[in-house]
Structure 1
Amino acid sequence: MSSLKAHSQTLYDTDYLQWIETTVEKLQSQDYANVDWENLIEEMADIGKSERRSLKSNFIVILVHLLKWQFQPQKQSGNWEASIIEHRRRVKEADDDSPSLKSYLESVFAECYAQAVKQAKAETNLPVEFFPVMCPYELAEVTNDEFLPQ
């Protein structure tokens, strides 16, 4: 292992921001031989995972609030609606930045809905059987700024 690579490893472990700045400088100057490829590849993979986790989390929050809105109408609040608006904004921004995330969201829709039902049950104290087994909303409705269930 070269001393430069050892330094990069140490820098990655001790000063993450400096490691990023150094890595960017090396890439910009096309100093590819001295790039800490192992950690760079790992970081890039982690970014993708993080984006997918964030998308799922925001989508679940929307679903939870839509369920609460529909199945506990007497408790509807501006806070629920504001949360729906905020998390829809986050999902839209993620989709605008990375349109491929839409197909990912379609693939995890049922999983997100199952998680949302568990959370809505806990937050409402309603029995789990109170909520539909299959999601009563289409993906387009969940992400539509104008949609609130009746």
Structure 2
Amino acid sequence: MSNLYKTDYTAWLGQQRELLAKRQFDQLDIDNLLEAMERRMGDEVKELRAHLVVLLVHLLKYDYQKRILKDPWVEDKVLYTWIPSINNPRREIELHVEENPCLQPNAEEIMANVYPKAKRDAIDELNRYIKIKSKRLNKNSFPKECPWSFEQATKKNWLPGD
């Protein structure tokens, strides 16, 4: 049974489900079931983290261009293009949290934990377009801690500076 876990996970999972349904608890592959459950629980958090990083990167870039650059060309031609990049991960986060409500109580903590990566990514992405070395962004270009709550960042139609 344990060998099937390593060679055909889907078949193994079906087998374990069948054993549970038949209440044949003594035949369950307990060690691998526990491992699979632990990994799956971690997958839900990992997926939320990934969506939050994407959302925060785009919110940081939007905020920087609007608040710091204050360039009328950026305001007229670029900022509106960020809206789909912001709304897409918001939709994914909303669906993911609806499907996994156990994530909601830890959402603020998860967001705080991914913020440093999102900040680094936003700096790297913006610096690709800044050719003058003295104008390049660094870790001090954005707040040390996330300036928005989970509720704000994921709220439909909310944008930094509103």
Q: TM-score normalised to the size of structure 1?
A: 0.86
User: Structure 1: which 5+ residue stretches go unaligned?
Assistant: 1-7
Q: Is 2:29 the partner of 1:27? A: no
1:34 Cα shift? 0.9
1:120 Cα shift? 0.4
User: Structure 2: which 5+ residue stretches go unaligned?
Assistant: 67-73, 128-136
- Cα deviation code 1:23-64 (max 9, x no counterpart): 111111111111111111110111111111111111111111
Q: Which residue of 2 aligns with 1:76?
A: 79
> RMSD of the alignment, in Å?
1.6
Counterpart-to-counterpart distance in 1, 2:36 and 2:112: 29
Check the 8 A contact 1:56/1:112 in 2, yes or no.
yes
Counterpart-to-counterpart distance in 1, 2:145 and 2:27: 52
- Aligned pair partner of 1:139 in 139, 150, 160: 150
Q: TM-score normalised to the size of structure 2?
A: 0.80
Check the 8 A contact 1:52/1:101 in 2, yes or no.
yes
Within-5 A mapping of 1:11-22: 11-22=4-15
44-53 or 133-142: bigger deviation: 133-142
Percent identical among aligned pairs is 32
Q: Which residue of 1 aligns with 2:70?
A: none
